[in-house]
Amino acid sequence: MPKIIDAKVIVTSPGRNFVTLKIITEDGVYGLGDATLNGRELSVASYLQDHVVPCLIGRDAHRIEDIWQYLYKGAYWRRGPVTMSAIAAVDTALWDIKGKLAGLPVYQLLGGASRESVMVYGHANGASIEDTVAVALDYQRQGYKAIRIQCGVPGMASTYGVSKDKYFYEPADADLPTENVWNTSKYLRVVPELFKAAREALGWDVHLLHDIHHRLTPIEAGRLGKDMEQYRPFWLEDATPAENQEAFKLIRQHTTTPLAVGEIFNSIHDCRELIENQLIDYIRATVVHAGGISHLRKIANLADLYQVRTGCHGATDLSPVCMAAALHFDLSVPNFGVQEYMRHTPETDAVFPHAYTFADGAMHPGEAPGLGVDIDEDLAAQYEYNRAFLPVNRLEDGTMFNW
Ligand SMILES: O=C(O)C(=O)C[C@H](O)[C@H](O)CO
Ligand SMILES: [Mg+2]
């Protein structure tokens, strides 16, 4: 059996912080797992180093499900983003090892390919509607079949998803949280106008997506969804905070606009009611934050029963290790919807060489055994950890709000 003899937690910051778990077996085969939790990276690094790694040594790397159950049930304190990101990293690394030992890409171990490639969506953003549409046209020219569009709101200094840089969006931007200010009514006026302009410029053959980022009440989301129906959005994402899964019933009563949620979910329990009551159309849970490939497959299998499709989160704070794992998952899962793809910077790609490719609006994980991603530890060591918080959001009167 491939006995685990060591495991390393590698924290590196090529432009932004990443946490990577490397599990090594006695015959030298190793696997990688992403453990990055944006703004709380060191919590997961410590959880792994201090509470998980000691329990892995000597175990059979082939026993993925048993180790998953051991880490989940054995912790006593179940679920939560830190715990489930740590378990995810172990799970992902063990799938990487299993693939390498079998000489097969992980997607082949997951049931083989269910499609030729994985449709991804890009991110067009700009200070104005015109700027955003211009960037969206560029993504369309690059071959993207799906584009998320986010624009600035007149009278607001900042809003979610709009950055100075057109192509590399990283919200964790300061040593202490940046304070943003929010105004819902100004926002609600702009988004339908953005989609009207985008449809006029890009036509109807491209999927257009938008991320509300947890900032509306259910009835406000119902209003926006209804206003947007004429522009056929592919989805409205994170329409309202989803701790109260029931809230989505109110949105559903008012609009047929498809809904996506779940990038901050970390277990099947966060999404069960939403899926079973068909309150959403896409589930955004990810490999790195929802317990790894093994648990994400269980979420996808539940979703499949209710015609809910996957739409995994894929922002730049999910490392290339997670992107590689997500693509193997996406290629094989029957109820695939779309994969988010925010390109990493060249520095990040150099630290994490990978086999996955992009062409004509779609991606493929490649045929390398395992996940097809590696980490250059010498290069990684050159990038010191650099504390960075996600912003916080307040209303104009100072009330603390959702970022
Ligand atoms: O990519 C998205 O849809 C996001 O909402 C990005 C998140 O704000 C980001 O991953 C938080 O770290
Ligand atoms: Mg989002």
Taken as a whole, the chain contains a residue count of 403
Residue 32, pLDDT > 90, answer yes
Per-residue tokens: 287: 């490999």
Q: Are the beta carbons of 72 and 291 closer than 8 angstroms? A: yes
In this prediction, residue 165 has a pLDDT band, given cuts at 50, 70 and 90, of confident
Domain ranges in the chain are 4-105, 109-368
Q: What is the pLDDT of residues 275-290, one digit of tens each?
A: 999 999 999 999 999 9
Q: Report angle CA 16, 18, 20 to the nearest 5 degrees.
A: 165
Residue 169, pLDDT > 90, answer no
Per-residue tokens: 100: 């390498």
For residue 172, the ligand 1 atom closest to its alpha carbon is: 12
Residues 6+ apart with CB under 8 A from 390: 38, 39, 171, 172, 177, 403
Q: What is the mean pLDDT of residues 5-32?
A: 98
Q: Is the CB of 313 under 6 A from ligand 1?
A: yes
Q: Which of 213, 215, 318 for mutating ligand 1's site (highest number of atoms within 8 Å of CB)?
A: 213
Residue 229, pLDDT > 90, answer yes
In this prediction, residue 236 has a pLDDT band, given cuts at 50, 70 and 90, of very high
pTM over 0.80: yes
Q: Is the CB of 263 under 6 A from ligand 1?
A: yes
The pLDDT value recorded for residue 250 is: 98
The pLDDT value recorded for residue 164 is: 79
Q: How many CA atoms lie within 13 A of 243 on its CB side?
A: 2
Q: What is the pLDDT of residues 288-310, one digit of tens each?
A: 999 999 999 999 999 999 999 99
Residue whose structure tokens are 């809230």: 247
Task: Give which of 139, 150, 286 is closest to 212, Cα–Cα.
Answer: 150
Indicate which residue's Cα is closest to atom 11 of ligand 1.
38
**% residues pLDDT > 70 (the chain):** 100
In this prediction, residue 163 has a pLDDT band, given cuts at 50, 70 and 90, of confident
> Which residue in 207, 210, 213, 354 is the catalytic one?
213
> Which residue in 107, 121, 160, 383 is the catalytic one?
160
Residue whose structure tokens are 């970022």: 403
CATH H-level superfamily of 4-105: Enolase-like, N-terminal domain (3.30.390.10)
The pLDDT value recorded for residue 69 is: 98
Q: What is the pLDDT of residues 329-355, one digit of tens each?
A: 999 999 999 999 999 999 999 999 999
For residue 148, the ligand 1 atom closest to its alpha carbon is: 3
Residue 166, pLDDT > 80, answer no
In this prediction, residue 358 has a pLDDT band, given cuts at 50, 70 and 90, of very high
Q: Is the CB of 41 under 6 A from ligand 1?
A: no
- Note the ligand closest to the C-alpha atom of 169: 1
Q: What is the pLDDT of residues 244-276, one digit of tens each?
A: 999 999 999 999 999 999 999 999 999 999 999
Question: Which sign does the torsion angle of CA 101, 107, 109, 113 carry?
Answer: negative
For residue 318, the ligand 1 atom closest to its alpha carbon is: 10
- Phi and psi of 23, rounded to 5°? -105, 130
The pLDDT value recorded for residue 296 is: 99
Q: Is the CB of 213 under 6 A from ligand 1?
A: yes
The pLDDT value recorded for residue 168 is: 78
**Separation of CA 89 and ligand 1 centre (Å):** 19
Q: What is the DSSP string of 307-363?
A: T-EE-----TTS-HHHHHHHHHHHHH-TTB--EE--PPPHHHHHHS-B--EEETTEE
ipTM summary value: 0.99
Amino acid letter at 130? E
Q: Is 207 a catalytic residue?
A: no
Q: What is the mean pLDDT of residues 109-135?
A: 97
Per-residue tokens: 344: 């990493």
Q: Is the CB of 171 under 6 A from ligand 1?
A: yes
Q: What is the pLDDT of residues 64-88, one digit of tens each?
A: 999 999 999 999 999 999 999 999 9
From the centroid of its chain, how far is CA 182?
24
Which residues keep their CB under 5 angstroms from ion ligand 2? 211, 263
Q: Is 213 a catalytic residue?
A: yes
Give me the architecture of the 109-368 domain, per CATH: Alpha-Beta Barrel (3.20)
131-167 burial, b at 16+ Cβ within 10 Å, e below that, comes to bbbebbbebbeeebbbbbbbbbbeebebbbbbbeeee
For residue 237, the ligand 1 atom closest to its alpha carbon is: 3
Task: Give which of 280, 276, 217, 210 is closest to 252, Cα–Cα.
Answer: 280
**Separation of CA 115 and ligand 2 centre (Å):** 25
Category of 47 on φ-ψ map: left (φ > 0), alpha (ψ -120 to 50) or beta: alpha
Q: What is the pLDDT of residues 210-219, one digit of tens each?
A: 999 999 999 9
371-383 burial, b at 16+ Cβ within 10 Å, e below that, comes to bbbbbeeeebeeb
